[in-house]
């Protein structure tokens, strides 16, 4: 009887530990994404705002031309248009 119960207990413990590791990993990923998605970067030269990870922003643009916005509404209120490549207004 005990020989049949021990593998079941081990399986339950492994599943609980694995689920807790997965849950904390997902929570950390969500926190990273939500922090990244809040900020927008505007380029004063082009009048376009981007997500922080957009390849257009990571180009050779001078840092002095970049403006950080708190969200999409702040960027639109300042007169900036959304990037057509990263589509920051589609959340």
Residue 73 in any domain: the answer is yes
DSSP classification of residue 84: T
For residue 20, report the phi and psi dihedrals to the nearest 5 degrees.
-65, -40
How far apart CA 78 and CA 72 sit, in angstroms, is 10
43 and 32 within one domain:
no
Domain of residue 66 covers 39-82
Residue 71 lies in a domain: yes
Q: In the prediction, which pLDDT does 55 show?
A: 81
Give burial (CB, 10 Å; 0-12/13-18/19+) of 37.
middle
| Residue 89, in any domain of the structure | no
Domain count, the chain: 2
Residue with the bigger pLDDT between 16 and 3: it is: 16
Q: Is residue 7 part of a domain?
A: yes
What pLDDT is recorded for position 85?
A: 87
| Residues 6 and 31 both lie in one domain | yes
18-72 per-position pLDDT tens digit:
888 877 765 555 444 444 445 888 888 889 998 888 888 776 555 668 888 888 8
pTM of the predicted model over 0.75:
no
pLDDT, tens only, 14-29: 999 888 887 776 555 5
Task: Specify if 70 maps to a domain.
Answer: yes
Domain check: are 53 and 27 in the same one? no
């Amino acid at each position: 009887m005990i020989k049949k119960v021990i593998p079941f207990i081990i399986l339950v413990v492994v599943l609980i530990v694995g689920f807790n590791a997965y849950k904390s990993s997902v929570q950390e990923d969500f926190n990273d994404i939500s922090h990244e998605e809040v900020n927008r970067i505007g380029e004063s030269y082009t009048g376009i705002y981007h997500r922080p990870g957009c390849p257009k922003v990571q180009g050779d643009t001078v840092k002095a031309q970049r403006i950080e916005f708190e969200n999409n509404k702040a960027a639109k209120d300042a007169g900036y248009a959304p990037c057509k490549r990263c589509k920051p207004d589609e959340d």
